[in-house]
Amino acid sequence: MLDAQKNGYAVGAFNVENMEMGQAIVAAAEELHAPVILQTTPSTVRYASLDMYRAIVATLAAKAAVPVVIHLDHGDSYDLAVGALEAGYTSVMIDGSHEGFEENIALTKSVVEQAKLKNIPVEAELGKVGGKEDDLDGGSGGYTDPMEAKEFAERTGIASLAVAIGTAHGIYSGTPVLDVDRLKAIEKVVDIPLVLHGASGLLDKDIIECVKAGICKVNFATELRIAYSNGVKQVIRDTPDVFDPKKYGKVGREYVVEAVKARILVCGCDGKA
Ligand code: 13P
Ligand code: ZN
Ligand code: NA
């Protein structure tokens, strides 16, 4: 992400739910010679376990021709974040954005302290990204204030900061209006890489504008879940008698490869590995 910051591109971060999606994300990254971040939310971790996803991604990473890392997305407690550190995740997010400013700082600092012992970078969030991520309802409003962001980054010692500038988790019902001027103002006063959440459903040009304005990591979740499900549904619709999970898993995987490739190109991280 520091290389991305220096060279004006963003690393794509893709939420993984199962082995097939993991394989697809890594295959897409290899095809486009892109470094890639795979990440899991708390509900995903509850579906299987930290160890399970860590093992899947480590297996993929060991054979990949590009850098592959695993990140805890929207870590919702100190215990889960520390659990991810212990499980061998290569970075973690602690999301205290639902707390007050001082409480968010205290929670974030406590995770950074533990992560530092293992030299693991921590992402945190200030302001509220809209929509529904996982079981958390982001609500609306609460854009990131640039001067608060500066203070937050300095006092917590985080490695990257997720900002709220009008994006929302999930697919947008209307046309999202992004406050790119606010992003530029944050970038001016905050030294560390900035992260854009809620990128599913954003126009290519909006993502490109945000990357130009200082975004170094872009998160995609819903688009991949939809792509995988569309592939599976197509097979079941066309061949209702199918009973081999490999048959529809394979098509779901192919759909995710295409979705991820398109977004890697938008982030500009192709050819960076
Ligand atoms: P989308 O579901 O809108 O892609 O948001 C992804 C995200 O921010 C994951 O943290
Ligand atoms: Zn998010
Ligand atoms: Na979105």
pLDDT tens digits for 47-75? 999 999 999 999 999 999 999 999 999 99
% pLDDT > 90, the chain = 93
Does 212 fall in a domain?
A: yes
Structural domain total, the chain: 1
Q: Kindly tell me if the per-residue pLDDT of 134 is higher than 70.
A: no
**Closest by Cα among 108, 118, 106, 216 to 158:** 108
Torsion sign, CA atoms 168, 171, 177, 178: positive
Amino acid 130: pLDDT: 79
Q: Judge whether 121 and 160 are in contact, CB under 8 Å.
A: yes
* Most ligand 1 atoms within 8 A of CB, residue of 14, 25, 133, 267 to mutate: 133
pLDDT digit string, tens, across residues 33-45:
999 999 999 999 9
ipTM beyond cut 0.95: yes
Does 236 fall in a domain?
A: no
Q: Kindly tell me if the per-residue pLDDT of 135 is higher than 60.
A: no
Amino acid 131: pLDDT: 74
Amino acid 139: pLDDT: 46
Does 247 fall in a domain?
A: no
As a whole number of angstroms, the distance between CA 32 and CA 138 comes to 33
Does 232 fall in a domain?
A: no
Q: Kindly tell me if the per-residue pLDDT of 148 is higher than 90.
A: yes
Q: Kindly tell me if the per-residue pLDDT of 92 is higher than 70.
A: yes
Does 245 fall in a domain?
A: no
As a whole number of angstroms, the distance between CA 256 and CA 157 comes to 35
Lookup: tokens for 72: 């805890």
> Which position among 73, 76, 206, 270 bears the catalytic label?
73
Residue 261's CATH number = 3.20.20.70
Does 127 fall in a domain?
A: yes
As a whole number of angstroms, the distance between CA 253 and CA 250 comes to 5
Q: Kindly tell me if the per-residue pLDDT of 31 is higher than 50.
A: yes
Lookup: tokens for 213: 């304005």
Q: Is 33 annotated as a binding residue?
A: no
Amino acid 137: pLDDT: 47
Does 76 fall in a domain?
A: yes
- Secondary structure element (H or E) that encloses residue 218, with its range: strand 215-220
Provide the strand spans (E) within 113-159: 122-126, 130-133, 136-137
As a whole number of angstroms, the distance between CA 72 and CA 92 comes to 4
- Secondary structure element (H or E) that encloses residue 159, with its range: none
Ligand 1 binding pocket includes 200 (Cβ within 6 Å): yes
Q: Kindly tell me if the per-residue pLDDT of 138 is higher than 60.
A: no
Does 229 fall in a domain?
A: no
Reading across the β-sheet that carries 130-133, which strands appear in turn? 136-137, 130-133, 168-169
Residue with tokens 């988790």: 169
Structural domain boundaries enclosing 166: 1-222+257-267
pLDDT digit string, tens, across residues 175-230:
899 999 999 999 999 999 999 999 999 999 999 999 999 999 999 999 999 999 99
* Most ligand 1 atoms within 8 A of CB, residue of 11, 196, 197 to mutate: 197
